[in-house]
Chain A
């Protein structure tokens, strides 16, 4: 086993992991605040990949030349619109179900997933879509017997992922919105009695989570260049795996889980078998849930009798 291959797979894994982590944030925040797994979250990410390509093309058509400006505007627009999608989904498919049976939000979420997938398929066509290569160039690092390549896009991915995580953490810990979120998470009834509009807070959490998935969508599209209407499902489950692995409900856990899963998957496909990398990821999900459902950073739940 060569060191430079390990290094290369580790770099790829880190990139993949940052993406998973960004999407996992949405699962973890929503789970933290209303204890529900937002199954449609993966599809929001899928929508964001389309939005990325659309806004890139649109901004280019308007004659914007400077690449950083175009990318930054695309990122902002995509985040705004995916947040809108997240908000709308919560408003239409989840909010009316508060206080309903435990199965109801799940079924509604599966319904929304089918709707989003097919809405995009019908509007945008079933074929693969893509964007041109925007950032070329790579760094080469000398490792023992070969080189490890790090493309500029990959550097951008890590930087943007870190920056958006930092902003999100800051929001959660240093703004009144974040305080209300954490209060609602601890005890919704009490927070409401203290004047927190919990409905608005929950919707905001959905929107924030969706915006993070939007960031992931932009970054993935920059890195891989192509996507279709079906990418949300598998990536969604893997991001959920990351959230569980890190400890669902915990923000740093989501990022950590994402990186661990990304590395594991990347090393597995590098050294064991590429065909079974998804099987490996799902197997991790199943095993973690069986043996350590509280994940790496989560606290174990005490059953209420």
Chain B
């Protein structure tokens, strides 16, 4: 299987504290990969580096695109180095990303995410939330919008239709004109996924999608995740604490502890790994008393 995302030597330090130490893993195209680990292991930090919210201290994150690979660290804009001034092409690229780079470019490259603590536009309607997510696909010309040209209206209608499609898939169609902040918690979580999907991603990163859901909702969520992969061709990376969900949906599991990868492999293999058991249960290396 071809890797869609390759993470190599990812290191993140806050001040002197190393949150991630040379983390490396790959996400194959079309797979469901789970990132697990005890609290404070650095899972969300990995996500924030991947989706461009943190500038990694060192390491490379490469996304295979249809037109070639893209370095997700560089497009955030890095500080200039002395050696850049010898190479005008590198310098120009670095300057460009420094001025105009940022996390939004990561999304444009095809990575979408949700957040651990749901982040919706609470005072906007559900449909508006989805339309904002399609910002890059609609007609943004000011004049076209002010005059209401046919092209503008077509683009808006198409965006509404696309939004409705995703709402249908996630079972939120009836809520289209409600305020996002008024929805029950489970619906808010699904709306956030729908919103991420509206950006048209190739890689969908879900940060604890089952947190706060009841067992039935979790069950429905795992069906949904599987469906997104099989019917919509998405690659999914998820952080999750609910092991039953992880075991059920994922093809590949990466285990983090104290900012380092301690195991990776199929769910069955990882489950047996003594190091993982130690990390989770805090057992002594030699075995219990």
Q: Contact partner of A303 among B44, B53, B115, CB < 8 A?
A: B53
Task: Decide: B48 and A302 in contact? CB cutoff 8 A.
Answer: no
Within 8 A of B (CB), among A247-305: 302-303, 305
A44 to chain B, nearest CB (A): 34
A103–B197 alpha-carbon span in the complex (Å): 31
Taking CB atoms, residues of chain B closer than 8 Å to A305 are 44, 48, 53-54, 115
B62 to chain A, nearest CB (A): 22
A302–B55 alpha-carbon span in the complex (Å): 11
Taking CB atoms, residues of chain B closer than 8 Å to A302 are 14
Question: What is the 8 Å Cβ interface bit string for chain B, positions 30-61, against chain A (1 contact, 0 not)?
Answer: 00000000000000100010000110000000
A305–B53 alpha-carbon span in the complex (Å): 8
Taking CB atoms, residues of chain A closer than 8 Å to B53 are 303, 305
How many interface residues does chain A have, given as a range?
Answer: under 10
Report how many A-B pairs have Cβ atoms within 8 Å. Answer: 7
Taking CB atoms, residues of chain A closer than 8 Å to B14 are 302
Taking CB atoms, residues of chain A closer than 8 Å to B54 are 305
Question: What is the 8 Å Cβ interface bit string for chain B, positions 154-192, against chain A (1 contact, 0 not)?
Answer: 000000000000000000000000000000000000000
A262–B167 alpha-carbon span in the complex (Å): 60
A302–B115 alpha-carbon span in the complex (Å): 17
B237 to chain A, nearest CB (A): 16
Taking CB atoms, residues of chain B closer than 8 Å to A303 are 53
A176 to chain B, nearest CB (A): 30
A189–B56 alpha-carbon span in the complex (Å): 31
A303–B14 alpha-carbon span in the complex (Å): 11
Which of chain A's residues has its CB closest to B113's CB? Answer: A305
Question: What is the 8 Å Cβ interface bit string for chain B, positions 1-21, against chain A (1 contact, 0 not)?
Answer: 000000000000010000000
Which of chain A's residues has its CB closest to B44's CB? Answer: A305
A304 to chain B, nearest CB (A): 10
Question: What is the 8 Å Cβ interface bit string for chain B, positions 110-129, against chain A (1 contact, 0 not)?
Answer: 00000100000000000000
Taking CB atoms, residues of chain A closer than 8 Å to B115 are 305
B48 to chain A, nearest CB (A): 5
Taking CB atoms, residues of chain A closer than 8 Å to B44 are 305
A305–B55 alpha-carbon span in the complex (Å): 13
**What are 7 residue pairs bridging A and B, where the CB atoms are less than 8 Å apart in the complex?**
A302-B14, A303-B53, A305-B44, A305-B48, A305-B53, A305-B54, A305-B115
The 7 closest A-B pairs by CB, nearest first: A305-B53, A305-B48, A302-B14, A303-B53, A305-B115, A305-B44, A305-B54
